[in-house]
Structure 1
Amino acid sequence: MSRHKLTGDAEARQPLLTGHYLDESELGSDEGEVIFDRTTEAGVRVPRKLTYEEAVEETGFGLFHWLLLVVCGWANASDAVEILCVSFLLPTARCDLLLSSTDGGLLTASIFLGMMVGGYMWGYLADQKGRCKVLVVSLTVNGLFGGLASFAPWFWLFLLMRFISGIGVGGSIPVIFSYFSEFMPRVRRGAMISALATFWMAGNILAAGLAWLVIPKTWAHFSLGTLDFQSWRLFVVLCSVPSITSAIIFKLFMPESPKFLMEADCEKEAIHVFRLMFELNMKGKEKAFPEFGLHTSSRQRREQQETRIWGSSSERLANALKKGLVPIKKIFKSPLRSRSITLIIIFYSISFGYYGLWMWFPELFARAEDGGSPCANVSRPSALHNESCYPVKTAVYMEGFVIAVSNLPGNIFTILVMDSTGGKALLSGSLLLSSLSVFLIYVVQTKAQSLVLSCVFSGVSVIAWNALDVVGTELYPTQLRSSALGFFTGVGRVAAITGNLVFGKLVDANCAVPVLLVSALLLVGGLVGLLLPQTRQTELT
């Protein structure tokens, strides 16, 4: 797939309305319906204007969408790798950096703090400047600073690099789902977004597998000047590779969202993307592209022009900052207010529960290495020296890998039933089951039982995340979609930070408190989810 093919050049962006007429075989319809329904005074027939949903239907479904799934899925997986790698390096990195449990909580929280800062900022820019451009920059920030963190000799510098990396992750997660959904026909949108969400599991498995292969190995330990380059540092470098490669792919090959282009009144560019989709989907079939015009909006372009010509540079900056808050005000006005408040509660509950517990799974299992439940052994020292963590015990990484793989049944289930059941029912049901599984983790008394229930929690909670990805993209219009998702993921990052700090503070003193708190919050989220409107196969506005 060439760069010319997917991004177009000056020639490819010329008017595409050539006045081509379609016969019945090209239309695939017995009625032989044509898409020309207007005649000028000179008697020249011109293409009728199509809405976004009609244009997507005209392009068909096929190779383009599967290639898009792979590319966007790899970006989603790269975010998972960057976030979850901290949980796998924590048992050994805390030794080399002499970290207390509180420091470990700060480390796991640092990337979420960055995601909170970056989430809304990138989402707003994506709604103003375009999805693809923002994805390239945010993925580059993610991978670059994630890799640089491996060379940090001091804890504070490592923390800073992880924070900046988190700013990049905060942009790519909400924007990738907006971008992907805006290429999908509505009858397949739920299943395809669910399929995209399964790549989070792939990233989880990749991170766990790399940790298992690299961190325990002595060959990955060498000196780099004055820096003692332990195996966990090499693991951090490898975890940055998916983000960098994903940024390169988007920069070189991927087109802008046609829905965004229509909202920005870029009709020619949008038609070019639709033509590309059609050509790839109909590859090998003798079927001509159905020429048409588009119903576009001049709103976004007009607002950008007003921003450029308004006042001095300081006034323009103040105006830009003021405009940045406009989407937040809009999502909390009727008729979006009730769903927005509901989503705040859900995002907070699931993010506190999932990330608060998931990021500490390797540490909890390390505490249970001698038998018993993860909360039974609280004698682990608060600061460790190098010799106390080597040789690295591989069982911790094997268990993390098993839990990561346990996402698979939940992902398959979501793909199969999302379009028929709808996101609302799956979201509430999975949150309630997740709450029960976490409560039972506290109740059980053996490590084996804890591992089984952790796998159950992993498999069930991923259904909630997948359903939330689908519901979130369908609840808001195009001009607010990325901003809204960025804002809510920011709320989720606040919850993730809180959850990790709570675990860091209480895991030594009373492990039961954060575990039971996770169970309670997931229960609340599941009940509140019943208040959301049903969005199954709805049109994107």
Structure 2
Amino acid sequence: MQSDSANPVAKVFFRIRTELRGIWLTFMRCFNYPVRDNTIKLAIVWFTLSFGYYGLSVWFPDVIHHLQSDEYASRVKTHNNERIEDFTFNFTLENQIHTNGVFINDRFISMKLRSVTFIDSTFQNCYFDDVSTVGSIFKNCTFVEAFFYNTDIDDSKLVGSRVINSSFHHNKTGCQMTFDDDYSAYWVYFVNFLGTLAVLPGNIVSALLMDKIGRLSMLGGSMVLSGISCFFLWFGTSESMMIFMLCLYNGLSISAWNSLDVVTAELYPTDRRGTGFGFCNAMCKLAAVLGNLIFGSLVGITKAIPILLASAVLVGGGLVGLRLPDTRGNVLM
């Protein structure tokens, strides 16, 4: 024991070491009989539920965004060998591809080019005034005696193009993209909002039925049903279907989260409850990080691996959860 005259710094380090040793001993007691099996099973359930839940939370919005992009690309309009003279473009051109076009004495005024590509086209004596581009390029085009004023058309938009006797004045600077041009950020938040909203009925159902059907039945049943609902994502080919499956998945999985919290707290004795719960939460956070990394890397590559992985993990975790001892009606230790 440290004396009163001991160095204050040494006292601090001694106290820290003592506390850390106590924490470590308490943690190791979570793996002693009779709670060792429960700790291992709970860690597996926490890990699998978190891995599937947070992994799909990242995967869902990006997949929906890819479906939107594919649908948008399928509606592209293609124009070949067109010749337009003495025409004024003062409206938005969107989702178009112009190949081998000839534009003579045309005026592009107060307009926006949104996802428009010009390929091998010629612009002769054309006037560009207050033109903004979003996702648009001029590839292998030729500009002859063109005049650009207050536009954002620069070298990055003129890919392999030739500019002959043309001038640029008062070019726009900064990002010209607006909310109307790209709402993908809004869409990600909106999809997450719908998924979070679907949690509300799941919370109500779990609160009303947990004591009636039992913690384990709700835990295992919710995880197995969540895994089955993930499998049906394989057949999701539209935005509305994917959003519906997201809401169904979140509504089912929240019941598993609620029952898992209760089961974890009731399976540990009082002197190890906080440490055991903290260990399970640490496994949860580790699984969340791995889920975000793994599922995020598979976005846009394949649907099979994320769906099968999430389904297998959730069903497996649910079956492990059903092997936990039932704590309904038991007196806490």
Report the TM range for the smaller structure's normalisation.
0.5 to 0.7
Q: Indicate conservation of the 8 Å contact 2:224/2:318, yes or no.
A: yes
More moved, 394-403 vs 432-441: 394-403
1:366 aligns with 2:65: yes
Q: Which residue does 1:475 correspond to in 2?
A: 267
Partner of 1:115: none
Alignment deviations for residues 399-456 of structure 1 (CA, whole Å, 9 cap, x no partner): 3322222122221211111112221110000000000111111232222211111111
Indicate if the aligned counterparts of 2:66 and 2:300 stay in contact, CA closer than 8 A.
Answer: no
Count of matched residue pairs: 221
* 1:386, distance to aligned residue in structure 2 (A): 5.7
Structure 1: runs of 5 or more not aligned: 1-310, 373-380
- Taking the aligned partners of 1:409 and 1:364, their CA distance within structure 2 comes to 25
Match of 1:53 in 2: none
1:404 aligns with 2:196: yes
Whole-angstrom distance in 2 between the partners of 1:313 and 1:456: 52
Q: How far did 1:518 drift?
A: 1.2
Corresponding residue for residue 17 of structure 2 = 318
Q: Distance in 2 between matches of 1:389 and 1:351?
A: 36
1:503–1:511: 8 Å Cα contact kept in structure 2?
A: no
> Structure 1, residues 491-536: CA drift from partner, whole Å, max 9, x if none?
0111000000112222243343223211110011011111100011
**Residue in structure 2 matched with residue 355 of structure 1 by the alignment:** 54
The 1-side partners of 2:301 and 2:292 are apart by 15
What code does the residue aligned with 1:327 have? T
Asked whether the 8 Å contact 1:434–1:519 carries over to 2, the reply is yes
Asked if the contact 1:421–1:536 (Cα under 8 Å) also holds between the matched residues in 2, the reply is no
Change in 2 beyond 3 A, CA 1:402/1:314: closer
Amino acid of the residue matched to residue 14 of structure 2? E
Residue by residue over 1:103-146, the C-alpha shift from the partner in whole angstroms, topping out at 9 and shown as x without a partner, is xxxxxxxxxxxxxxxxxxxxxxxxxxxxxxxxxxxxxxxxxxxx
Q: For the structure 1 residues 506 and 387, does the alpha-carbon distance in structure 2 shift closer, same or farther, using more than 3 Å as the test?
A: farther
Which residue in the other structure is 1:426 paired with? Answer: 218
Counterparts of 1:465 and 1:371, CA distance in 2: 35
Structure scoring higher RCO (CA < 8 A, sep ≥ 6) equals 1
State how 1:17-166 maps to structure 2 within 5 Å: none
Which aligned segments of 4 or more residues in structure 1 are displaced greater than 6 angstroms? none
2:44 to 342, 345, 348: 345
Give the match's secondary structure for 2:331. coil
CA contact (8 A) 2:236 2:242 kept: yes
Which whole-Å CA distance do the structure 2 matches of 1:389 and 1:488 have between them?
44
Mapped to 2, the partners of 1:363 and 1:434 lie a distance apart of 20
Greater helix percent: which structure? 1
What whole-Å deviation, never above 9, does each CA across 1:274-296 have from its counterpart, x for those lacking one? Answer: xxxxxxxxxxxxxxxxxxxxxxx
Q: For residue 480 of structure 1, what is the amino acid of its counterpart?
A: R
Residues in 1 aligned to 2:212 and 2:313: alpha-carbon distance in whole angstroms = 28
The Cα shift of 1:395 comes to: 4.3
Q: Which amino acid aligns with 2:246?
A: S
Paired residue type of 1:460 = L
Does the CA contact (< 8 Å) of 1:351 and 1:495 recur in 2? yes
Query: Alpha carbons of 1:370 and 1:533: their partners in 2 closer, same or farther (altered >3 Å)?
Result: same
Q: Which amino acid aligns with 2:256?
A: A
Question: What SS does the corresponding residue of 2:268 show, helix, strand or coil?
Answer: coil
The one-letter amino acid of 1:481's match is: R
Q: 1:506-517 to 2 correspondence within 5 Å?
A: 506-517=298-309
- 8 Å Cα contact 1:439/1:519 also seen in 2: yes
| SS of the residue 2:203 aligns to | helix
Instruction: List runs of 5+ in structure 2 lacking aligned partners.
Output: 1-9, 72-134, 136-173
Whose strand fraction is larger, Structure 1's or Structure 2's? 2
Shift of 1:329: 0.7
Deviations 1:21-44 (A, max 9, x none): xxxxxxxxxxxxxxxxxxxxxxxx
Q: What secondary structure is seen at the aligned counterpart in 1 of 2:34?
A: coil
SS in 2 for 1:510: coil
For residues 459-503 of structure 1, what are the alpha-carbon distances to aligned partners after superposition, in whole Å with 9 as ceiling and x for unaligned? Answer: 101110011011111111222112111110100111000000112
**Which residue in 1 is equivalent to 2:247?**
455
Give, as a single letter, the amino acid of the residue that structure 1 aligns with 2:46. F
Shift of 1:371: 6.0
Q: Is the 8 A contact 1:424 1:530 kept in 2?
A: yes
Aligned-partner Cα distance in 1 for 2:15–2:248: 52
1:239-258 alignment runs, 5 A limit: none
Report if the CA contact (8 A) 1:371-1:446 is conserved: no
Q: Does the C-alpha gap of structure 1 residues 493 and 387 become closer, same or farther in structure 2, counting only changes over 3 Å?
A: farther
Say if 1:442 and 1:515 are closer, same or farther in 2 by CA, change over 3 A.
same
- Counting only pairs closer than 5 Å after superposition, residues 221-370 of structure 1 correspond to structure 2 as 312-370=11-69
CA separation in 2, counterparts of 1:511 and 1:444? 10
Q: Measured at CA, do residues 450 and 386 of structure 1 come closer, stay the same or move farther in structure 2, by a change above 3 Å?
A: farther
Q: CA deviation at 1:537?
A: 3.1
* Aligned: 1:489 with 2:274: no
Q: 1:503 aligns with which of 280, 292, 295?
A: 295
CA contact (8 A) 1:371 1:447 kept: no
How far 1:312 sits from its partner (Å)? 4.6
> How far apart in 2 are the matches of 1:386 and 1:424?
54
Corresponding position of 1:248: none
SS in 1 for 2:322: helix
- Alpha-carbon RMSD across the aligned residues, in angstroms, is 2.5
Q: CA deviation at 1:364?
A: 2.6
TM-score for both structures, normalised by structure 2: 0.61
Contact 2:61 2:188 in 1 (8 A): yes
